[in-house]
Chain A
């Protein structure tokens, strides 16, 4: 028997809400939303953690400009503080190297991380989810039982189609979906995501394509000044 599976609930027990930022397609802004949301919540005084579970393409550390940090070892691993966020990522162990893992091994590594990470008391744990609804995402859903989902999509037909499917799966699994955020709006297709949300889930709002975001990556203060951050603060459900 795998003893690690028996301790995961306990490791997460002092966290009030666990928010998974997900969405069918890659590149829709999940990591950006997860990271900036965590920053904003921490700034508002909430005890906030951020867990990057996209082992195939970890990004949150780049967005937050995390460098030279490592968890403290004390009867487990204590996530270090990154700009007021307790931040955990595979990058502490891989460095800048790629991690060529098969699906089963990604899940195994995620189990290990969940079993040894000591989050302590948190108001929010934000999870940057692996893209799609393949084995890794399904394993994460099985392992972390109290997740509430925010889906991020772009207005593109391709992204909204995939998001619609993901929403259907999540609802079939009876998982709470807080709603849908439409990201990178450029005007011409406004309303596509709202239609997908329909009466299936809440439409949380739109975020415009923000050309200043790229230059703010890695700089937390600049990030919080972007239109992206301002619009996100209007549409996230924890106001």
Chain B
């Protein structure tokens, strides 16, 4: 349920943006959710709606778009690219849970499938990110 904390960060960011740019009505919030963090989208969406109410933020029901971003990992040593989802190198359940809380923990439990190095870059699909906030002034 720590999806709530992340949902709250998104709503706080939207509220800050409204204040900063004098937005009258928010028309679109594009949220990307990186695959690596394995956010439960149902819970996340539910949390977003509830936190919105708590922050007295009114948005059209289709204004918030959540898109799952494919994860790409690239080895710093041999250059191999792969994904967290590749069955051959997916970590176990407890390990995946730790990565769910802090995606960088991937370096503790995932190794490059080519050269076994823990030194890889999380190129894409890490965690929660706001791609765009649009609104009417």
**Residues of A that sit less than 8 Å from B by CB:** 1-7, 10, 73-77, 90, 93-95, 97-102, 105-106, 108-109, 112-113, 115-116, 118
Contact = CB atoms under 8 A, between A and B. Distances in A.
B104 interface: yes
B5 interface: yes
Given A99-B108, A113-B102, A10 B12 contact: yes
B82 interface: no
B103 interface: yes
Q: Which range contains the number of B residues in contact with the other chain?
A: 20 to 34
B9 A115 contact: yes
Nearest to B127: A112
B75 to A, nearest CB: 13
Given A73-B2, A105-B104, A100 B119 contact: yes
B6 A94 contact: no
B28 interface: no
A7 B13 CA distance: 8
A2 B122 contact: no
Contact of B12 (A7, A94, A98, A101): A7
B59 to A, nearest CB: 15
B16 interface: yes
B78 interface: no
B89 interface: no
Contact of B104 (A4, A101, A118): A101
A118 B5 contact: yes
B54 to A, nearest CB: 11
Nearest to A4: B9
Contact of A97 (B17, B108, B126, B129): B108
Contacts of A101: 104, 107
B102 A109 contact: yes
Contacts of B107: 99-101, 105
Contact of B122 (A3, A73, A105): A105
A102 to B, nearest CB: 8
Contacts of B118: 100
Interface string B95-129: 00010011111011100000000110010001111
B104 A108 contact: yes
B87 interface: no
